[in-house]
Amino acid sequence: MAETAKILSPGKTVLIPDLGSGCPLAAMITAAQLRDLKEQHPGIPVISYVNTSAGVKAESDVCCTSSNLLKVADSFDSDTIIFTPDKHLANYLRSRTDKEIIAWNGYCPTHVRILPEHILRQKRLHPKAKVLVHPECRLDVIELADEVMSTGAMVRRTKTSSASEFVIGTETGLIHRLRKEGSGKRFYPASELAVCPNMKRITPHKVLSSLKGMQHEVRVPDPISRGARKAIDRMLELA
Ligand code: SF4
């Protein structure tokens, strides 16, 4: 995400407060691995989730987010698509489209900790709660949910919904924001295990010391930045 910020604002300084806070899902595919996959399937368009490195984006035709992946996939005439890196997002896409999806075998280690039995338990404990889950979850979890959506959409839905209780199937940190903005509504994590240790490495203290010392500046080499920018711009045009 820091690389994406730098690619979109090349003239600005982008700092990452902790170099160990990279996304494990993004690390599951490299640009070289994607080049190999493209060689095995020549001419097939490549969609990469935003949680990928700049190098992988530069090898992709377009990026997508969890809220626009269906729209992005539908924008291609091709009936086959390569999707990286998350196999669960790819499964979700498969369940919503007739296209054949060639998926990379990556996954978010945090979202896969949410299991069907966790959702069933929360439904038993909170029968009136609406269950909202992120499409990085397993398909058998998604099938138990009332709605599937991005984290941004969850924030909006919980504000506009007439429901007053929600089970939230994504990284548990979102619960904090929902409780802050949720005007007295109640929020329950689908699973207390859905904690991303990498995200938790970014602390207020580290943000402050990063700003004070101007550490660690994110740089993306020009050719990679230009290639990745094309994939991001195409997504923004479609969105
Ligand atoms: S929860 Fe963590 S591992 Fe999963 S996509 Fe987000 S940053 Fe990556």
Q: Which domains does the chain have, with CATH numbers?
A: 2-107+217-238 (3.40.50.10800), 111-195 (3.40.50.10800)
Which pTM value belongs to this model?
Answer: 0.95
Cα dist from 218 to 13, 65, 142, 180, 196, whole Å: 8, 22, 35, 31, 22
Arithmetic mean of pLDDT, 226-231? 98
Structure tokens at 211: 């700003």
Quick: pLDDT tens for 117-161: 999 999 999 999 999 999 999 999 999 999 999 999 999 999 999
Q: H or E element: which one contains 189? A: strand 186-189
Sheet holding 130-133, edge to edge: 147-148, 130-133, 165-169, 186-189
Q: Which of 21, 69, 198, 201 has most ligand 1 atoms within 8 Å of CB, for mutation? A: 198
Per-residue pLDDT, averaged over 174-197, amounts to: 93
Distance from Cα 197 to the centre of ligand 1, integer Å: 9
Whole-angstrom Cα distance, residue 38 to residue 36? 5
Q: What is the pLDDT of residue 183?
A: 74
Mean pLDDT of 187-216: 97
pLDDT confidence band for 6 (50 / 70 / 90)? very high
Ligand 1 atom, smallest distance to 51 CA: 5
Rounded distance from Cα 110 to ligand 1 centre (Å): 6
Is the CB of 182 within 6 Å of ligand 1?
A: no
Average pLDDT of the chain, as a whole number: 97
> Is the CB of residue 198 less than 8 Å from the CB of residue 23?
yes
Q: Is 109 in the pocket of ligand 1 (CB under 6 A)?
A: yes
> What is the pLDDT averaged over residues 53-61?
98
**Which strand (E) or helix (H) includes residue 81?**
strand 80-84
Residue type, 97: T
pLDDT tens digits for range 77-115: 999 999 999 999 999 999 999 999 999 999 999 999 999
